[in-house]
Structure 1
Amino acid sequence: MTKELKLHSPAGAESAIYTWPFPDTEGKDGSCEIVDTIRWVCADYPELKIALEKTACINDYDIKSYESMKNICDKYNRAIDSILQLWKGSTIYKPNERPTRGHLKHILQQCYNKAVKDPDKLNQYEPFSPEVYGETSFELVEQMINYINFTDTDYFIDLGSGVGQVVIQVAASTNCKYCYGMEKADYPAEYAEIMDREFRKWMKWYGKKHGGYKIEKGDFLCDEMKEKVNNATVIFVNNFAFGPNVDHQLKLRFSNMKEGAKIVSSKAYCPLNFRITDRNLSDIGSIMHVVELSPLCGAVSWTGKPFTYFVHTIDRTLLEKYFQRLKNPKAKVNFFLIF
């Protein structure tokens, strides 16, 4: 017989409803999610944590028992309802704050568990095409965010955005002006729609805010994307398994990006020690700096070994300085003497 478990929203949104019994989701079933969700609400409401610890329900429960889980849900609901009623009209509670790092990771996992119904379908792709699928970890995206230091003037694009978790994480973690993702493959794009819907629902449920974002299905090599890429200040692309044709097409698009724009990729678009010569003036390395981020274990889905991403910054003054040195060989000598 199907039963329901409810969790009231601390922000006054519609209650979260779980159907019992729930199926296992990669070893983390609905019972564990319910308990974790209550704990994250407790992190925002210390009074709730104290109330639930007094009844021992937050530490004493059986995830395999419907009655035990209903008991913890009921006690949580009564406690949060009382707290919200007590604080009604006061300024103690400040909604619409961004979630903490740990809380956001929990929310993204909640959404992923609901959206990705069959993970095996994510790997049905054409090799060496833009449809090659691979997931980037929460920690690696966080590393990118910390390195770039997004501002409210940034426009972020994920080319080949998969199920959308990178776009969503940037939108929730930063004050980036807008985030956009495009995914061509059918199953990831389908799951991204659910991911998007679940994320907005849960953020509203928790009373947390996020920046504007949009995830669409389509080919990021289409003509319509050229203007978007030109206007972007940060591009993320998981190009590790892309073929030479796709990478070449991307280089052509990146060459028209704004000065100071950044491209974050899983494979470098030019050598770290690139030096301009008369033979490689047309190479994209002549207009960009590239740095390698610190390797992280478990950073990507296709290998457990330490993996790193590269950050390229568009800088056309490199080419200008090269031509200036050609015009004035003495200045070129002095330049090398100085450095």
Structure 2
Amino acid sequence: MFLNANKPKIRTKTVTVKKTPAATAPSAAQTRPSHPGRSCSGPPANRYQVSTSAQAASREPARRQPAVRHVQRRRVSPGTPQWASSDDESDGDDARSRKRQKTRPGSSSSEPTAAHRTLEPDLGRRIRMREREKGEHANGASDALVQGMAMSSGDEAKNYKAAFAGCDGNPVLELQYPSPTRPERFEAVNPLDVQEGYSPLEDIYFSIEEMIQHYLPSDLANDLSSDTEGTVRLLKRAVSKNSPHDFQTELAKFNTLIKDSVMNGTVARIMDEMHAIPLSLVKRITAQSYNRIVSPHAHRLRKVKGKETTYGELLTPFVHKIFQQTGLNSTHTFVDLGSGVGNVVLQAALQTGAESWGIEMMPLAASLGTKQASELEARARLWNLSLGAIHLIAGDFLETPDIDAVLRRADVVLVNNKVFGEKLNNDLLQKFLDLKDGCQVVSLASFGGGAKHGVRHEQAIAGLFDEERYESGTASVSWVGESVEYFIARKAR
């Protein structure tokens, strides 16, 4: 180790976030229709409560240690929050979901203040899907799309019960999205385990709410969101009355409205005035992809051989906060080192339009990440949204030339290094020597010696980075409900 007393120290300051109570979303009785002409009797009783599976990649130690500096940490009065915004509020869906492992939460109208939370407008980005992106799927769904109906059929059928009692078979439901694609098909069933199972009905409800809020004119959206006569309310009422005919009628009316709004240019006009995708919509789409691809394998992801292969996830609102702090946008390049099933990479491509890269060495997680990327691309076409370029690699980030190349031009780099060993963190620092000035590195353990459990106080790169410490707020990561510390280091020299 070689220290130079004349070199500047890494400047670190502690920033605390005011802790706010997690929103508690009221539960909703499940409801669904059937095909006209099928007789049913007796209302089902069901509630939708979902969860999120937790996971983030880690690695084995390796290699030599770079030059370092002690880090000075500024003392902050615990009663004086220095960084807070509306995004500091915990999300009720994610707070509940952290306790379970099978499904990710969707958005719901129970979060009115969060419905329009967005990143800063990106005036250079076109949100609506371009004609060339529609390609051969302009008039049909992508082959990669996992239909909602597939989630409750086949081997999974044993985990579901009819949503309408007395029906001659389970009705097939169709939901039209705000694009020229064909409707997605669902089965009118409820999960036997409301804590763990995927709910086709709630998937439809949450999706309708997002379309109403973000794809239609505000006056129409207000009418359709009514607590007494709104679309979702009428659908739920039809289920409680066990009236598949009423349900099917209301769903058909909504589908026709959406089709007409696409055809007459209303959806295009609204989307072209949109320069940031609302967080609630990001949550809805990523939850759809995650529930179809990752959730069925969550139990396998939790089986790890040791600390070096521990898996955990950063939850969607926390990732939104990181994107907001770093200013990530469609002109930037984002890299996730240890990307797991690709959640953050996919959120970056969807929410910011950035060129987004991820690399993961655990085979199962990497495989699911590739499949989830295909699902997200198909879902983006349904929702008429343009994505940034997505690149997911299976491999070791220390030994992959493509990652070395992209790091040299990266604008934001994320690494969940909370359980990394000292040697691996020092190897990462060697990689970071080649980052361009201004690049921001987001980590869950300090590279400047500021982490509570860090033993690298003399092993951070001297004078190259300015690092700041933050608190995530509660319900931000999958492995713990309490707030966690994280760090943003900017390449300054």
TM-score with structure 1 length normalisation?
0.79
Shift of 1:246: 1.9
Shift of 1:88: 3.1
In structure 2, relative to structure 1, the CA distance for the partners of 1:169 and 1:33 (3 Å cut) is same
Q: Which position in structure 2 is the counterpart of 1:45?
A: 216
Shift of 1:236: 0.3
**Are residue 138 (structure 1) and residue 309 (structure 2) matched?**
no
Q: Deviations over 1:88-116 (max 9, x none)?
A: 34466434655311111111111111112
2:437 to 256, 259, 263: 259
Q: Which position in structure 2 is the counterpart of 1:231?
A: 409
Shift of 1:315: 1.8
Structure with the bigger percentage of helix:
1
Equivalent position SS for 2:485: coil
**Are residue 204 (structure 1) and residue 381 (structure 2) matched?**
yes
Query: Amino acid of the residue matched to residue 301 of structure 2?
Result: L
**Are residue 156 (structure 1) and residue 334 (structure 2) matched?**
yes
**Are residue 286 (structure 1) and residue 463 (structure 2) matched?**
yes
Alignment of 1:15-34 (within 5 A): 15-21=183-189, 23=191, 26=196, 29-34=199-204
Of the two structures, which has the highest relative contact order with CA contacts closer than 8 Å and spacing of 6 or more? 2
Checking the alignment, whether the CA contact within 8 Å between 2:180 and 2:262 is kept in structure 1 is no
C-alpha distance in 2 between matches for 1:170 and 1:52: 29
Q: Deviations over 1:161-198 (max 9, x none)?
A: 1111111112222243x111111112222221232122
How many residue pairs end up in the alignment? 308
C-alpha distance in 2 between matches for 1:188 and 1:93: 36
**Are residue 11 (structure 1) and residue 161 (structure 2) matched?**
no
Structure 2 unaligned blocks of 5 or more: 1-168, 452-456
1:246 to 410, 414, 424: 424
C-alpha distance in 2 between matches for 1:68 and 1:211: 43
Query: Amino acid of the residue matched to residue 172 of structure 1?
Result: L
Equivalent position SS for 2:185: strand
Shift of 1:65: 7.9
**Are residue 72 (structure 1) and residue 247 (structure 2) matched?**
yes
Query: Amino acid of the residue matched to residue 179 of structure 1?
Result: S
CA RMSD of aligned residues (A): 3.0
Q: Which position in structure 2 is the counterpart of 1:335?
A: none
Shift of 1:75: 2.5
Shift of 1:32: 1.1
In structure 2, relative to structure 1, the CA distance for the partners of 1:126 and 1:226 (3 Å cut) is farther
C-alpha distance in 1 between matches for 2:428 and 2:383: 39
Checking the alignment, whether the CA contact within 8 Å between 1:108 and 1:199 is kept in structure 2 is yes
Query: Amino acid of the residue matched to residue 232 of structure 2?
Result: I
Q: Deviations over 1:270-299 (max 9, x none)?
A: 1359xxxxx96x841431111012331111
Shift of 1:70: 7.3
Query: Amino acid of the residue matched to residue 369 of structure 2?
Result: A
Equivalent position SS for 1:59: helix
Checking the alignment, whether the CA contact within 8 Å between 1:31 and 1:69 is kept in structure 2 is no
Q: Which position in structure 2 is the counterpart of 1:180?
A: 357
In structure 2, relative to structure 1, the CA distance for the partners of 1:69 and 1:191 (3 Å cut) is farther
Q: Deviations over 1:52-83 (max 9, x none)?
A: 86966521426978965675355333333245
Query: Amino acid of the residue matched to residue 132 of structure 1?
Result: T
Q: Which position in structure 1 is the counterpart of 2:263?
A: 88
Query: Amino acid of the residue matched to residue 35 of structure 1?
Result: Y
TM-score with structure 2 length normalisation?
0.56
Alignment of 1:106-125 (within 5 A): 106-116=284-294, 117-125=296-304
In structure 2, relative to structure 1, the CA distance for the partners of 1:202 and 1:287 (3 Å cut) is same
C-alpha distance in 2 between matches for 1:52 and 1:232: 42
